[in-house]
Chains A and B, each alone.
Chain A
Amino acid sequence: MNQPDTPPPDRNGHWIFRRRTIDGAFWGLVLICALLALVELVYHRHTVFAFEGFPVAYGIYGFVCFAGIVFAGKGLRKVIMRDEDYYDR
């Protein structure tokens, strides 16, 4: 079974699975997000709806939706998850 958290540090294994690679990817992602947010200081986005004008509106919406979907999925499991042989019984 997969662990939900990050894979254990694998110093001698494939470079993709090393702790340094994983941490690097994470902080790289944080940096990209920061840059995408900061772009708004110099560039004014075109909007159709007023609420689109809120600073980093798309970033916030994406973050909240994603987290919401995952937590909703966890809740959904409590209701609809069954054993693998449920329909064979």
Chain B
Amino acid sequence: MIANLSPGLILIVGALLVPFLPGRLRYVYMLALPVLGGLQLAGLEHGAYGQTEIFGYTLTLLRVDALSVVFGTIFLIAAFLNVIYGMHERAPMQEVAALVYAGSAISAVFAGDMITLFVFWEMTAISSVFLIWASRTEAAYRAGMRYLIIQVGSGVILLAGVILYANATGSIAFDYLGVNGLATVLILIAFGIKSAFPLLHNWLQDAYPEATVTGTVVLSAFTTKLAIYALARAFPGTEALIYIGAIMTAFPVFFAVIENDLRRVLAFSLNNQLGFMVAGIGVGTPLALNGAISHAFVHIIYKSLLFMSMGAVLHRTGTIKASELGGLVRSMPLTTVFCIIGAASISAFPLFSGFIAKSLTLSATAEGGYVIAWLVLVFASAGVLEHSGIKIPYFAFFAHDSGIRCKEAPPNMLIAMGIAAFLCIAIGVYPAPLYAMLPYVVEYEPYTTTHVLTQLQLLFFAMLAFALLVRTGLYPAELPSVNLNTDWIYRKALPVLIRRIALLIERLRTGTLDRLQRRLERFISQVYRHHGPEGLMARTWTTGGTVLWVALLLGGYLIFFYL
């Protein structure tokens, strides 16, 4: 253990060496980095370290408490699994970006002040965009640009909020803030963008599915959960979050039903899961906060697992469109099993990890008396089952046989998926160690007969609905398509509007110029008519006529003079 060293910095600094290491040594080294980070974290007592004074403000590089340790731990586990999952390819840029990104997220979690938080907040944005660009397609480049603008924008809003806050209070400490005035509202919006609040969400579904096979798995773990951590730290018990969270759980399910790109379906599902956490933070009781935090913990594992399984499908078949897939269980039986374990976990089947986390949030919401929010959350639980529990495994591995025959996923992918699947079941069966890590001391027993029975009823009757819809042909077919979302505003409406305005300005400009030119021409022709070679004014006058005009003028002058 090195004093004052954030576990995240081990990954960030360590990543810089990665491109220079050969072959196997590189993988051993990359695996060692999160392990070293974990050892460093294990050696740290709770407290604040690495404090420095700058311009009268105290920077705290490393603040270790129960909340930061939970998130730091799961981020390190995710970073470790990601390294294994990416081992089949040699992609130095992606490897460095993934480690710097993970390290930044971990460092942000351990930041004790908002300036340090801001720095690592922006570093997660900048490092992660390379995971999207690593696809090296035009679509990925454009999606990456949109992603970067929104992510960096979130950081700028955060900084604005922090400056206002520091000005008003003289403190930059990152603790409970609550919503009270412009400064904290700005900070909440910054967190809201990164945790994909409704209408601020679409960067997620836009960008994540464009990243590489490994990149999407890496992306799914960190950015949004960093924002959840920040919300849990600064805004617990903010009632608006209950309803924001409830909306977040509900609206993506409709989009997920009709989405054809299965990684995009998972991105919608990610949005839905974040809603449960946001709602839990909004309820703000110790039980609800424990629910949100444990949900983030298990969610990172099963969401990674689902993205890993879909990544394996994309890697082997070259497509991830539901309309082109089906029947892959014959070629990829292990991937199928792992995917189903992830699907069962996210759907919160008893004995799987989602159940032991989501139950806390649902119980806390019910106990708080938030009837409508609770009904929406239970509705959304059926929605999760629809798109993540059934649609993902069903259309990739079962449904009709697409005729695709491919190899099983590479061994490293299977190992990563195997570990994640093991953790999903282990935590689901034996949640005590996870509960012990949570920041609040709450007695909670997820496996009561009522809990298990109600959850099984909800899930199995929903599955029955699916089976009936499929048997009667009412379930909508998967269609190659694009579905509009809020990104339509800046991908279609604004460009079209700007093009129209430009056209209008161009027309006005040419119209005005044309009119001016025509007037000028008429003026010139008038002048030419009077003063040109044949013009009245240009004619040669006779001497007599001229003398007559001069005499008249002089006469007129004389008359005026005497008047």
- A residues contacting B by CB (< 8 A) are 1-8, 10, 13-14, 16-17, 25-26, 29-30, 32-33, 36-37, 39-40, 43, 45-46, 48-49, 52, 56, 58-63, 65-67, 69-70, 72-74, 76-77, 79-87
Chain B binding surface, main DSSP class: helix
Interchain nearest-CB distance for B285 vs A (Å): 14
Total A-B residue contacts, Cβ distance less than 8 Å: 181
B257 surroundings in chain A (CB, below 8 A):
69-70, 72-73, 76
The answer to whether B473 and A65 touch across the interface, beta carbons within 8 angstroms, is no
The answer to whether A2 and B395 touch across the interface, beta carbons within 8 angstroms, is yes
The answer to whether A17 and B457 touch across the interface, beta carbons within 8 angstroms, is no
Residues of B in contact with A, size category: 35 or more
Residues 382 to 423 of chain B near chain A (Cβ within 8 Å)? 382-383, 385-386, 395, 398-401
The answer to whether A76 and B254 touch across the interface, beta carbons within 8 angstroms, is yes
7 nearest A-B pairs in the assembled complex, by CB-CB distance: A73-B257, A59-B461, A62-B458, A66-B462, A65-B382, A66-B465, A62-B462
- Known A4-B474, A70-B386, A80-B483: A13·B401 in contact at CB below 8 Å: yes
A43 surroundings in chain B (CB, below 8 A):
449, 453
Chain B residue with minimal CB distance to A36? B457
A4 surroundings in chain B (CB, below 8 A):
470, 473-477
The answer to whether B327 and A2 touch across the interface, beta carbons within 8 angstroms, is no
Interchain nearest-CB distance for A72 vs B (Å): 5
Query: Contact check: which of A46, A62, A74, A84 meets B465 at CB < 8 Å?
Result: A62
The answer to whether A69 and B383 touch across the interface, beta carbons within 8 angstroms, is yes
Residues 234 to 276 of chain B near chain A (Cβ within 8 Å)? 253-255, 257-258
The answer to whether B476 and A5 touch across the interface, beta carbons within 8 angstroms, is no
Instruction: Say yes or no for B546: interface residue by CB 8 A criterion.
Output: no
- Known A46-B448, A67-B469: A84·B481 in contact at CB below 8 Å: yes
The answer to whether A69 and B461 touch across the interface, beta carbons within 8 angstroms, is no
A82 surroundings in chain B (CB, below 8 A):
481-484
Interface pairs (13), CB distance under 8 Å:
A4-B477, A5-B470, A14-B330, A29-B464, A56-B457, A58-B454, A65-B382, A69-B383, A70-B466, A72-B254, A81-B483, A83-B482, A86-B482
Chain A residue with minimal CB distance to B371? A49
The answer to whether A7 and B450 touch across the interface, beta carbons within 8 angstroms, is no
Chain B residue with minimal CB distance to A17? B401
Cα distance A80–B367 in the bound complex, in angstroms: 38
Q: Which residue among A14, A43, A52, A67 has the maximum number of chain B CB atoms within 10 Å of its CB?
A: A67
The answer to whether B475 and A33 touch across the interface, beta carbons within 8 angstroms, is no
Chain B residue with minimal CB distance to A60? B461
B383 surroundings in chain A (CB, below 8 A):
65, 69
